[in-house]
Amino acid sequence: MLSSLYRPRQFFAERARVSLGEATGIVLLAGLAQTFYLLFLLPELLPRFSSAKTLYVSAGLLIGAGGQILTTGFYWFFYSGLFHSISLIFGGEGRFRRTVIYTGYGFGPLFLAGILNGFLSLLASRAVDPPSEIEAVDPYLTDVFAQDVFVWSKVVVLLVFLWQTWIWVGAMKHARTLSLKHATLTVCVPVGARIVWFVYRSNLL
């Protein structure tokens, strides 16, 4: 399964049967990794509050974390839908279920990005004073994620997009029985749009 990260085309060519269980596991791990930063921020935040407020702050952050896991799951189906739809133009064949399974393998790099983001949040949190009022939690998090060190996070996110593109090209070639050129077009159009949108919103240029 790990070879899908660094030899995607060979991986999908050799694996006659990829599994929904494996794909779901990869997406779930990727989603959980997006909440990894809470492991570092919660110990900074919670000792500042009384027990009643601790419960409130914890619940709020956990709901946000649950939202991030749900968002990762949503993007799994969203990208699957985009790849399935675009590949129809190139005569792509196969059920949507197959597209969903193969697309799931492309979420592996997100796991590494989430872990790195967690460590960056640990570094960034040291430069910001933790709040003692509930109303100040959100500005605190905004300040933490606005630290200079998170420029590296944005660079990593861009690299992860490119890495995912590489995996998905191999995946769509085999999932939808496409030529390499058509698989590349199928994947690069939506992911390219996402990269442009990300760069625009991140003020990277």
Nearest to 21 by CA among 109, 101, 106: 101
Sole binder of other proteins in the list 20, 25, 78, 133 (CB under 8 A): 78
Query: Of these, 85, 112, 130, 149, which contacts other proteins (CB under 8 A)?
Result: 85
CB of 152 to other proteins, least distance (A): 12
Is residue 41 within 8 A of residue 141, CB to CB? The reply is yes
Q: Cβ of residue 74: shortest distance to other proteins, in angstroms?
A: 5
User: What are the structure tokens assigned to 168, written together?
Assistant: 């998905």
Cβ-based burial of 21 (10 A; exposed 0-12, middle 13-18, buried ≥19): exposed
Applying CB under 8 A, does 173 fall inside the site for other proteins?
no
Instruction: Answer yes or no: are the C-beta atoms of 19 and 104 closer than 8 Å.
Output: no
Q: Which residue has the tokens 């596991």?
A: 25
Among candidate residues 144, 158, 145, 143, the one with its CA nearest the CA of residue 191: 158
Closer by beta carbon to other proteins, 4 or else 87: 87
Which residue, 1 or 136, is less far from other proteins as judged by CB? Answer: 136
Residue selected from 146, 162, 180, 196 as contacting other proteins according to rule CB under 8 A: 146
Instruction: By CB under 8 A, name the binding residues for other proteins.
Output: 37, 60-61, 63-68, 70-71, 74, 78, 81-82, 84-85, 88-91, 95-96, 117, 138, 141-142, 145-146, 150, 153-154, 157, 179, 182, 197-198, 201-203
